[in-house]
Structure 1
Amino acid sequence: MTTTTQQYTPERIVSRLQIQDLMFRWCRAVDRLDRQGMLDIFWPGAIDSHGPYIGPAEGLVEWILVRHRPIATSSHFIGNMLIEFASDDVALVETYVRTIQQYPKEATQQLAQLTGGAAGDESTPMDMFTSSRYLDHMERREGEWRVAHRDLIQDWKQIVDVKYRALVPAEGWIIGRRDGEDQVQTERQRLGLA
């Protein structure tokens, strides 16, 4: 069997789908500020190098919960994902991620922390757009894939003044939330998935 063929055995295809699902669950957890959901992505003691935060993943989650508190909206989008197996239980995963977040004018400190200093016009809300990559060392232990070490590779960031709020919801519109009451969270609870 060739190396390429070994990357696509039925067992490896299952592993690929499990890893992909793990990355999608990370995005939902961070965007919904789901503490346990974020923790479930990492093995205990995993290290994350996330720019302003470098240390144990448990600390990363706490840092995100504090830093994101004033941020009303956050969307992480997964793009290209390359999974390379070093063995049956170890994979190197490079995942492109785009992030869109809106920072109220009161959150310029949180914005400056993530950009390395830039915060835009302090009198208006800001939208931040990023293009980054997660470089994850993933391990499968007792049949479960999780991140053992993550490096966030930051490729670019852009901040834009928000002069007009484009979303002005009418009665009955379903609006995304970050307080545990988002529609997906309530539906998961209703269906017994939470």
Structure 2
Amino acid sequence: MSMDDRNRRTALAAMFVLPVGMAMASQASAASKGKKPMDMAQRLDVIESKQAITELLYAYARANDRADEALLKSCFWPESTHKHGKFEGKSLDFVGFAFKIVATLKYACHHISNVAVEVQGDRAFSECYYFAQHRRDRKEGGGEEDVFFQGRYLDDLERRNGEWRIIRRRGLSDYTSPPQPAATPYADWPAGQHSEKFPSDDYYRMRQQYMGV
């Protein structure tokens, strides 16, 4: 056997041995911390749960942007609690409070990022960052203005009958920009080229077509 053949076989063997070694090391680490190693089904459930929770956080942003009250409510269990800014109470009451604001906006855009999720069975904890823009009528009158927001959402979540929803939310507001006068009124934006609200936005029409409804 040539030296090249031996080198290739050694490299191939290392490729197969490395994942096994990493898995054994991971299990040993878990065992040393008093945690029982997860089997394949449990690992898959954690991955699927993290994806479902991430999509839930995105849905919350979409609900605000499209002023979709039903979608906004569906992110929370009925008894969910909420603390954000001066508001502290039931999440569904916060939805009513927030919807009065987003429904009057000319335009809204909420970005969710830095999503981190921990899962333990039917319970989960998540953190994400948000960045938002609100286009609204100027409070002093005469024209429109843009305001920008940054902060984080800290959520406790529960899974019931296979569905994840938020059971407790702590919203943190880290930055609010001074109102910035808008050079162009929203009404002057080219018709048919920008986002709209529920149910007029193209998202709803195209999704219905996709679902065959």
Tell me, yes or no, whether TM beats 0.5: yes
Alignment of 1:124-139 (within 5 A): 124-139=143-158
Alignment of 1:50-69 (within 5 A): 50-69=84-103
2:189 to 155, 158, 169: 169
Q: Give the aligned residue type for 1:90.
A: R
- TM-score in terms of structure 1 length: 0.81
Q: How many angstroms apart in 1 are the aligned matches of 2:178 and 2:158?
A: 35
Q: Kindly state the Cα deviation for residue 163 of structure 1 after the two structures are TM-superposed.
A: 4.1
Alignment of 1:29-178 (within 5 A): 29-85=63-119, 87-105=120-138, 108=139, 122-165=141-184, 168-170=188-190, 173-178=192-197
Q: Give the aligned residue type for 2:108.
A: S
Q: Give the aligned residue type for 2:114.
A: N
8 Å CA contact 2:64, 2:102 repeated in 1: no
Structure 2: runs of 5+ lacking an equivalent:
1-26
8 Å CA contact 1:33, 1:65 repeated in 2: yes
SS state of the match for residue 196, structure 2? coil
Q: Kindly state the Cα deviation for residue 29 of structure 1 after the two structures are TM-superposed.
A: 1.0
SS state of the match for residue 175, structure 1? coil
- TM-score in terms of structure 2 length: 0.74
Say which structure, 1 or 2, has more relative contact order (CA 8 Å, 6+ apart): 1
Structure (1 or 2) with the larger CA radius of gyration: 2
Equivalent pairs: percent with the same residue? 24
Q: CA RMSD in A?
A: 2.4
* Counterparts in 2 of 1:49 and 1:188: CA distance versus 1, 3 Å: same
What is the aligned length?
Answer: 177
Q: How many angstroms apart in 2 are the aligned matches of 1:31 and 1:69?
A: 9
SS state of the match for residue 31, structure 1? helix
8 Å CA contact 1:124, 1:161 repeated in 2: no
1:97-142 Cα shifts (integer Å, max 9, x gaps): 101111112xx3xxxxxxxxxxxx6544221111110000011122
Structure 1: runs of 5+ lacking an equivalent:
109-120
* Counterparts in 2 of 1:163 and 1:24: CA distance versus 1, 3 Å: closer
Q: Does 1:15 align with 2:71?
A: no
SS state of the match for residue 191, structure 1? helix
Q: How many angstroms apart in 2 are the aligned matches of 1:182 and 1:49?
A: 30
Q: Kindly state the Cα deviation for residue 159 of structure 1 after the two structures are TM-superposed.
A: 2.5
Residue 61 of structure 2 corresponds to 27
* Counterparts in 2 of 1:83 and 1:163: CA distance versus 1, 3 Å: closer
